[in-house]
Copies of this chain bind each other. A is one copy, B any other.
């Protein structure tokens, strides 16, 4: 037979079992946390009609998309979870109760240039709350509070959710008579973290924005406002009373800040940050970015915001919403690369490997079933191999316990439980063995261990 060399496409993450188990653990925390806040799971097709997916059209999206024909159909793979959500809500709006809260943890596809840490197929883990006509500001505090709980659930402590409000920025630019240029200005200011104030100033005074030096200085002074959240808000109060949009944005920001505290998010994990603008035009109020404090070079690992019109391309109905998205594949890649995955957590497919030492498998089958009924993940080893080979297999699998069952154990109604790390071996009845194994696997800490 001709052999074709196997390979996985570049830009596509494919994990070995131990890594996959750690990845799944993060997904489980996401699912559990999102569910605990009453978000409904959603699962839309990976393939959509290309016309529908590209209704908004244009730009980078169109270049990166996987688009193809099948028969007469013009199809494309989704490149995010927001456009499919918009389609879903527009299509099913009579069947949904608004506010509609959904989470979706699914793969999306972008055929961008493959490079280290960049993926063409990657998971996004999104939550959105969609209102019918209106949506209360409370939701804009709840969304980052949920993200706080997700990240804490992972074990992360050194992260910061940075919050701003586009109305404050738009209002400020209106005060300066720069409304028409606000898009260009925000895009320039967005580069502050990467290129520094001097270069941003040069861009602001360059051809595209065309600001005077005084205007540029005024903008840089404004976005440089920093300090505790109370200090930033106090400084912003100094600009109040001159523009309605600004004042509305400030009152929203104050409400979000106050409610975030009520949701139990400590001040060290969120910060009002006037440099956050988010590139996308459709954000209209609160915006979020999340950074890992020890890894600012990664940029935002979780971003989103408030928008006023989710599905205008599909339906003549005002559907405001607020949402946030975690780039899960990239986050996992970075955490793993930084060696932050907790090695004390079991990453073998089974907690225990049952090794029958007699030819007749009946007693080992019964033992495996008994351990499973106590919540232990058990692999029954059925191969006819020598003892040494069996133990070598247990080692390669990385299983924390081997459970040996020979004639003596069967006669005594016990099994020999061997801790594969310490080498300690004890004879226990099945229920005791399960308790022994459970105790060793509990309280080994979170998924992520920061250094």
Closest chain-B Cβ to A333's Cβ sits at a distance in Å of 14
Interface residue? A259 (CB, 8 A): yes
Q: Which segment of A17-25, A198-206, A290-298, A419-427 sits at the interface?
A: A17-25
Closest chain-B Cβ to A145's Cβ sits at a distance in Å of 9
Is there an interface contact between B315 and A361, defined as CB atoms closer than 8 Å? no
Is there an interface contact between A349 and B39, defined as CB atoms closer than 8 Å? yes
Interface residue? A58 (CB, 8 A): no
Choice from B38, B312, B384 contacting A377 with Cβ under 8 Å = B38
Is there an interface contact between A20 and B40, defined as CB atoms closer than 8 Å? yes
Q: Give the distance in Å from the alpha carbon of A17 to the alpha carbon of B57 in the complex.
A: 28
Determine the chain B residues whose CB is within 8 A of the CB of A178 once the complex forms.
none
Q: Give the distance in Å from the alpha carbon of A98 to the alpha carbon of B396 in the complex.
A: 9
Q: Give the distance in Å from the alpha carbon of A13 to the alpha carbon of B88 in the complex.
A: 12
Number of copies: 2
Q: Give the distance in Å from the alpha carbon of A124 to the alpha carbon of B312 in the complex.
A: 35
Interface residue? A440 (CB, 8 A): no
Q: Give the distance in Å from the alpha carbon of A349 to the alpha carbon of B97 in the complex.
A: 11
Closest chain-B Cβ to A101's Cβ sits at a distance in Å of 6
Determine the chain B residues whose CB is within 8 A of the CB of A21 once the complex forms.
40-41
| Complex interface bits, A413-443 against B, C-beta within 8 A gives 1, otherwise 0 | 0000000000000000000000000000000
Choice from B4, B48, B73 contacting A51 with Cβ under 8 Å = B4
Interface residue? A222 (CB, 8 A): no
Is there an interface contact between B91 and A37, defined as CB atoms closer than 8 Å? no
Is there an interface contact between A37 and B378, defined as CB atoms closer than 8 Å? yes
Determine the chain B residues whose CB is within 8 A of the CB of A15 once the complex forms.
43
Interface residue? A221 (CB, 8 A): no
A residues neighboring B (CB under 8 Å)? 1-9, 12-17, 20-21, 23-24, 35-49, 51-52, 55, 66-71, 73, 75, 87-88, 90-92, 95-99, 101-102, 107, 109, 111, 120-121, 131, 134-139, 142, 259, 262-264, 311-316, 349-350, 353, 361-362, 365-366, 369, 372, 376-380, 382-384, 393, 396-397
Given contacts A17-B42, A37-B380, 17 further A-B contacts (CB under 8 A): A2-B313, A3-B313, A6-B315, A14-B88, A17-B102, A23-B43, A37-B372, A37-B377, A37-B379, A46-B121, A47-B121, A101-B379, A136-B384, A138-B382, A142-B382, A259-B361, A262-B366
